């Protein structure tokens, strides 16, 4: 399926994790805030480029983005989350009823972008091969605060065979504007993760003998900042249900 | 000289271009605007990451930055420029008399960062070997506008021997957050540059037989945006007189 066909399916109500969809095209995390919070959100991204690499910012009130000219950000994501005062209050299929002309949308790079070249290099990405959502965890590592926004870094985890970990670092490192190289390899306890089989977001993914858990900074981090910082209103994608752009993955390669 | 010693010299009144100073440490372009303009400035950087890769943003009113904890941004640059309504009104040695608690400072990556590894690889960087300021030009290529800010892209130019151009691309491309790979190689007329011997900023640099002019996006671009967009007030560094940080160049390597 092309990116446009994928978005059409999500617009029509399909609700599935997007890993592996429209292969070769970048997917994006999303956070939408009132204009009055937009500077803090943009600054949070600037100060935390590993978890929050901002690849697109709409003009205030616009549901359109240069990253996918035919798309409507209010309807084209498979599952949205609506937040009030840091509490999740709704998970609708579209956000038409919540929209207003004062909202600014931030699109944030997604680690799925470097999964395609990792798979092409013969590295198994298990959540794709199993048709699951990636495992994501809140960590004990704090992001740099920005204005009223603060929170812990969220990471995604992929189990990688020990003899391919260096290749996974090298390949993902070629995509610095979409999370880039891992932030942590092995030793989950040093990130404050007690049980890898119980992710905070997404599905648990099997780790086999001879594999190492490799952690990449994750674009769900802004949602953890929303929970902590409690802005009056925000909209995000549901973790793993990304916005599919028209931008080829390799646009982001160094 | 170390970064701290360099800043001390500039704080004491020394006024020289900083190319080649404190080798191995990143230097930065600077633009300071009232808080009311800070969102537009930050968004301009996000939308134009090649010319305006923002590597630091101060808290509102603070003259201090994590990039050089002992520094004072009001005094430690060799030469400042003060702008009112898009007009250059002063070029002082410090900006203590212009400072107020409503100002936000943006530090923007500088192509000097990848000059050290280029020189280490045996590529002559002529403005360093000649002790000159780099040549900079306004181009006919427009930046993506952001709110009230718009303007042309400014580029720096280095003449590179034809058999080392690919090496210069490869080495600078390893530093995407400080301008990265060139935006244009050869054919200056296609950038709207009519006479390479007459740069808009900096010094003219000799181009020898067998060399190609190679153009990198330049952190003076915000100054061209100030001239075009005429914000009521802004402070910048003087082109080529950079802020010297404590951050090792290789921190920005991919």
Q: pLDDT of A214-240, one tens digit each?
A: 999 999 999 999 999 999 999 999 998
Report the CATH number of the B3-110+225-252 domain. Answer: 3.40.1640.10
Q: Please check the confidence at residue B20 and state whether its pLDDT lies above 90.
A: no
Counting every residue written for chain A, the total comes to 254
- In CATH, the architecture of A112-217 is 2-Layer Sandwich (3.30)
The share of chain B scoring above pLDDT 90, in percent, equals: 94
Question: Is the CB of A43 inside 8 Å of chain B's CB atoms?
Answer: yes
Question: Is the CB of A2 inside 8 Å of chain B's CB atoms?
Answer: no
Mean local confidence (pLDDT), A7-21 = 93
- Multiple choice CATH, A3-110+229-248, 3.40.50.80, 2.70.98.40, 1.10.10.10, 3.40.1640.10: 3.40.1640.10
Domain spans in chain B, listed from the N-terminal domain onward: 3-110+225-252, 112-217
DSSP string, B155-193: EEEEEEEGGGHHHHHHHHHT-GGGT-S-SEES-GGGGT-
Nearest to B54 among A46, A57, A174 (CB): A46
Q: B180 contacts in A (CB within 8 Å)?
A: 254
Kindly report, residue by residue over A67-119, the tens digit of the pLDDT: 999 999 999 999 999 999 999 999 999 999 999 999 999 999 999 999 989 99
How far, rounded to the nearest angstrom, does the alpha carbon of residue A208 sit from its chain's CA centroid?
A: 25
The share of chain A scoring above pLDDT 90, in percent, equals: 94
- For residue B148, give the chain A residue with the closest CA: A59
Nearest to A176 among B39, B42, B176 (CB): B176
Supply φ then ψ for residue A45, to 5 degrees.
Answer: -65, -45
- For residue A181, give the chain B residue with the closest CA: B254
Rounded to whole angstroms, what are the CA distances from B24 to A237, B244, B246? 42, 11, 9
Residue-averaged pLDDT of chain A: 96
Q: How much is the pLDDT for A251?
A: 93
Instruction: Cite the DSSP H helix spans in chain A.
Output: 3-11, 35-47, 112-120, 126-129, 165-173, 221-229
Whose structure tokens read 């890898």?
Answer: A196
Question: Is the CB of A251 inside 8 Å of chain B's CB atoms?
Answer: no
Nearest to B42 among A43, A174, A176 (CB): A43
Nearest to B42 among A46, A176, A177 (CB): A46
In a mutational test of the A interface, the residue from B31, B35, B38, B39 whose CB has the highest number of chain A CBs within 10 Å is: B39
CA distance B79 to B161: 32
How far, rounded to the nearest angstrom, does the alpha carbon of residue B56 sit from its chain's CA centroid?
A: 13
Whose structure tokens read 């994790």?
Answer: A17
Q: A177 contacts in B (CB within 8 Å)?
A: 49, 176
Q: How much is the pLDDT for A227?
A: 96
- Terminal Cα-to-Cα distance of chain B (whole angstroms): 26
Number of neighbours of residue A140 by Cβ within 10 angstroms: 11
Q: How much is the pLDDT for B119?
A: 93
Question: Is the CB of A177 inside 8 Å of chain B's CB atoms?
Answer: yes
DSSP state of B65: -
Q: How much is the pLDDT for A115?
A: 92
Q: How much is the pLDDT for B12?
A: 95
Q: Please check the confidence at residue B62 and state whether its pLDDT lies above 90.
A: yes
Q: Please check the confidence at residue B167 and state whether its pLDDT lies above 90.
A: yes
Q: B57 contacts in A (CB within 8 Å)?
A: 43, 46-47
Question: Is the CB of B132 inside 8 Å of chain A's CB atoms?
Answer: no
Residue A89, classed as helix, strand or coil, is strand
- For residue A45, give the chain B residue with the closest CA: B46
Q: How much is the pLDDT for B147?
A: 96
- For residue A173, give the chain B residue with the closest CA: B254
Q: How much is the pLDDT for A44?
A: 98
Nearest to B38 among A39, A54, A254 (CB): A39
Residue B254 distance to chain A (closest CA, Å): 6
Q: How much is the pLDDT for A19?
A: 87
- Token code pair at residue A41: 């959100």
Q: A251 contacts in B (CB within 8 Å)?
A: none
CA distance B52 to B222: 7
Which residues of B, range 182-221, sit inside 8 Å of A by Cβ? none
CA distance B248 to B115: 13
Q: How much is the pLDDT for B236?
A: 97
Q: B176 contacts in A (CB within 8 Å)?
A: 176-177, 254
Residue A66 distance to chain B (closest CA, Å): 11
Q: How much is the pLDDT for B19?
A: 87
């Amino acid at each position: 399926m092309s990116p446009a066909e994928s978005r059409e399916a999500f617009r029509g109500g399909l609700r599935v994790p997007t890993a592996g969809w429209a292969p070769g095209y970048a997917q994006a995390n999303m956070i939408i805030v009132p204009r009055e919070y937009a500077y803090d959100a943009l600054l949070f991204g600037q100060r935390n480029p590993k978890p929050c690499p901002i690849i697109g910012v709409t003009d205030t009130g616009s549901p359109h983005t240069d990253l996918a000219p035919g798309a409507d950000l209010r309807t084209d994501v498979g599952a949205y989350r609506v937040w009030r005062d840091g509490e999740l209050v709704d998970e609708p299929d579209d956000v038409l009823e919540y929209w207003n002309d004062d909202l600014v949308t931030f699109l944030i790079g997604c680690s799925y972008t470097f999964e395609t070249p990792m798979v092409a290099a013969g590295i198994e990405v298990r959540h794709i091969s199993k048709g699951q959502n990636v495992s994501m965890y809140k960590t004990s590592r704090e992001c740099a605060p920005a204005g009223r926004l603060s929170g812990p870094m969220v990471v995604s985890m992929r189990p990688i065979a020990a003899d391919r970990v260096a290749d996974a670092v090298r390949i993902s490192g070629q995509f610095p504007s979409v999370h880039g190289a891992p932030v942590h390899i092995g030793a989950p306890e040093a990130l404050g993760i007690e049980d890898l089989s119980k992710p905070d977001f997404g599905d648990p993914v099997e780790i086999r003998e001879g594999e190492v858990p490799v952690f990449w900074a994750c674009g769900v981090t802004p949602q953890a900042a929303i929970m902590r910082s409690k802005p009056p209103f925000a909209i995000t994608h549901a973790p793993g249900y990304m916005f599919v752009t028209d931008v080829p993955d390799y646009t982001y390669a160094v």
